[in-house]
Structure 1
């Protein structure tokens, strides 16, 4: 189901019930940009902390335009899952001194158009949201009674004219009519909050409240003491305003409250954008970022990482052609996994998607992630049990617990990001040091081209005539060393910090000088005896 401003309030309670009933929740997001440039290249050199440091100050201009959530609810009597899927359309908002901005990358626009992204729903019907930092700022202004004046100061001219028009209409009604009530139709929730406050300031004897059955109507009583009616308390007006401004952030709050396991595919960038968009500015420290995400979602499973690890148990003929989400989903949904021929759960999506047009649509991808998670969990649980039989969600989650809170890292020095502990040690082979023999300045592009045929490598400048090479495997390292053993163009050796770094060479020379000085001192001392 698609969720926009039009149906959000009507579906909010159903969404809450479905989250509460779920065993776990599939998650996916679509972005306005996948930023390019040096800082966003996936390099074999990068530790997780280094990669985080490169992009933490740049991702604030990216945002999630769609969030997909699929609630997987286990039907014990049928040993099956009912999947309730939602695609939430989001759009940044401007409110008082909160002005959310972003960039739209041309290549991303092209990609989204290819996959039938609805830009009208994004711009006209997208849900607002606030980060926890923005929410705290607005609530503080409410507490200090500054919000109304801040809003009045930042009102656009059209809204200001509309506000004055409403005040003028009430003034004419009070002067020229004897009717006890009147209605104002105010569609915009922010302007409606302004109208309530402005009327109460200008007309001390009236009573204002929201019309029953129509939240867009402001109902005005001529007599504030009229029997059976009460002014909407300021707290209710403020709560209504905050609920509107929070928008999709209310769903994030539900996920945080119910603490259901969150399942996604390749979630590193997703977790960073979740922090930027719904928690607040990226912290300076990588460890603080991990702590904040873990506090928001204590149980996260990444099917990209799980499938990478579990795929090692399959032979070449058995394994999926890739663990990209679409390939992984089709591998399981088409019954290609021979280990899952017996006892697997039936999974029913309550609102079917059009599969041919729905990949890279957040709701569908969130369903695919959860579907793969169920199949991977069944496989893992049955291996622990020693036989293939029906398996419930508790057993699946238990069997996959070794992979919990481990987020896949693409083409990095480490396999995964650990949200609850230290990250794992580097799993790449040691670096290579390459020195140009013929040329005084080394050409990194030329070196990369020379080494490309040996496997996946990254090259970075290490000095005027030297560079470092990171390879994806020891096999690639060994091939390079063997091939360039007698090269007349480059001298390639395993990198040594002592031999090749300036600090190492300085330490080596300092040690040598100190040793020589000590020897000369004792020689001189012996000669003078």
Structure 2
């Protein structure tokens, strides 16, 4: 189901109920930009901290435009799962002194157009949101009684005219009409909050409240002596305003409060964006980023990482062709996994998606992630049992516990992010050191081209005539060392920090000069005796 600002309020109760009933929730997001520039290329050199430091500033300019959540509910009677999927359309907002901004890359626009992204729903119907930091800022303004003025200062000329029109209607009603009540139709929640306050300020004797059964209407009583007259407490008006401004952030708060296991596919960038958009500005320290995410969502599974690890237990013929979400989903949904030919739980989506048109649609992709999680959890649980039969959600979660809070890292020096502990050690082969024997300045592009045929490699400068080489496998490193053993153009050897580090070399030369100077001094002193 698609959720926009048009139906969010009426669906919020159902979303909350479905979340409470779920045993885990699958997550996916679509962004306004993709980090495609050369400086953001995934490199075999990168530690997780280095990659986080590289992208955190750029990611602050990006937002999620769509968030998909699929809530998987287990039915004991038929031993199957009902999957309730939602696609939330989001759009940044300008409110008071907060003006959320973002970038849209042209390449991303083309990608979204190719996959039928609905820009109308994004711009006109997208849900607002606030980060924890922005929410605290707005609440502080409520406490300081400065929010109303800030809201009015942000009004356009059209907004000011509309506010004046509502006040004029009340004024004319009080002068020329004997009716005890009047209704104002105010659709915008921010304007509605301002109207309540402005009417109360200009006409101290009237009472204002929201009309029962129609949240758009402001009901105004002539005075407190009218039967049934009441004035909505300011706390209620402020709560209604905050709920509107929070928008989709209410869903994030629900997920955090219920602490359901969160399932995603390749979610490292998603989590960085989630922090920036719903927690606050990304911290300078990578360890603090991990701590904040774990505090919000203490149980996260990444199906990209799980599939990478579980694939090691399959032969080439048994395995999926890639770890891409679409390939992984089709491998399991089309019954290609030989280990899951019997006794698997049924999974039914409600309502159903059009599979041919829905990839890269956040709701559908979240469903695919959850589907793959269930299938891999079934496989892992049955392997632990030693036999294949129906498996409940608790046993699946238990079987996949070794992969919990381990988030896949694409083509880096470290295989995964550990959200609850220190990251694992480097899993790539030791670096290689290359020195150009002919060129005054080493040509990294040329070196990369020369070595590309040996396997997956990355090269980065390490001095005027030298560079470092990172390889994806020991086999690739061994082939390069063997091929260039007696090469006259390039000297390639295993990297040694003491021998090849510029700092170590400077220290060695400094020590040599110091020793030489001391010897000369002693020799000179002896000769002069």
TM value normalised by structure 1: 0.97
> Given the superposition, is the C-alpha separation of residues 379 and 517 from structure 1 closer, same or farther in structure 2, using an over 3 Å criterion?
farther
Shift of 1:511: 4.9
Hey, what's the Cα distance between the residues in 2 that align with 1:462 and 1:351? 56
Hey, what's the Cα distance between the residues in 2 that align with 1:224 and 1:97? 36
Alignment partner of 1:274 is 2:274: yes
SS in 1 for 2:25: strand
What is residue 497 of structure 2 aligned with on the other side?
497
What is residue 288 of structure 2 aligned with on the other side?
288
Alignment partner of 1:190 is 2:182: no
What is residue 508 of structure 2 aligned with on the other side?
508
What is residue 3 of structure 1 aligned with on the other side?
3
- Answer whether contact 1:89 1:125 (CA < 8 A) is retained: yes
Hey, what's the Cα distance between the residues in 2 that align with 1:187 and 1:116? 30
1:128-207 counterparts in 2 under 5 A?
Answer: 128-207=128-207
- Answer whether contact 1:85 1:363 (CA < 8 A) is retained: yes
What is residue 350 of structure 1 aligned with on the other side?
350
Shift of 1:487: 1.7
1:21-420 counterparts in 2 under 5 A?
Answer: 21-420=21-420
1:417-456 counterparts in 2 under 5 A?
Answer: 417-456=417-456
Shift of 1:80: 0.5
Shift of 1:40: 1.8
- Answer whether contact 1:481 1:492 (CA < 8 A) is retained: yes
Deviation track 1:451-486 (CA, whole Å, cap 9, x = no partner) reads 111111111111122111111111111111111122
Deviation track 1:389-426 (CA, whole Å, cap 9, x = no partner) reads 21111111011000000000001000000000000001
SS in 1 for 2:192: helix
Hey, what's the Cα distance between the residues in 1 that align with 2:451 and 2:90? 44
Higher alpha-carbon deviation: 49-58 or 478-487 = 478-487
- Answer whether contact 1:39 1:55 (CA < 8 A) is retained: no
What is residue 473 of structure 2 aligned with on the other side?
473
Hey, what's the Cα distance between the residues in 1 that align with 2:191 and 2:205? 22
Hey, what's the Cα distance between the residues in 1 that align with 2:63 and 2:154? 24
Deviation track 1:309-342 (CA, whole Å, cap 9, x = no partner) reads 0000000111100010000000001111111112
TM value normalised by structure 2: 0.97
Hey, what's the Cα distance between the residues in 1 that align with 2:482 and 2:282? 45
Hey, what's the Cα distance between the residues in 1 that align with 2:422 and 2:511? 34
- Answer whether contact 2:180 2:226 (CA < 8 A) is retained: no
SS in 2 for 1:311: helix
Q: Which runs of 5+ in 2 are unaligned?
A: none
SS in 2 for 1:61: coil
SS in 1 for 2:158: helix
Hey, what's the Cα distance between the residues in 2 that align with 1:135 and 1:91? 16
- Answer whether contact 1:35 1:105 (CA < 8 A) is retained: no
- Answer whether contact 1:32 1:62 (CA < 8 A) is retained: yes
SS in 2 for 1:232: coil
SS in 1 for 2:376: helix
Shift of 1:113: 0.8
- Answer whether contact 1:130 1:277 (CA < 8 A) is retained: yes
Hey, what's the Cα distance between the residues in 2 that align with 1:508 and 1:23? 61
SS in 2 for 1:204: coil
SS in 2 for 1:225: coil
Shift of 1:515: 6.5
- Answer whether contact 1:6 1:125 (CA < 8 A) is retained: yes
Higher alpha-carbon deviation: 249-258 or 224-233 = 224-233
SS in 2 for 1:208: strand
Shift of 1:512: 5.0
Number of paired residues?
529
Deviation track 1:477-529 (CA, whole Å, cap 9, x = no partner) reads 11111111222221111111111111111233455566778889999999999
Hey, what's the Cα distance between the residues in 2 that align with 1:366 and 1:523? 78
Higher alpha-carbon deviation: 66-75 or 493-502 = 493-502
Q: Which runs of 5+ in 1 are unaligned?
A: none
- Answer whether contact 2:223 2:229 (CA < 8 A) is retained: no
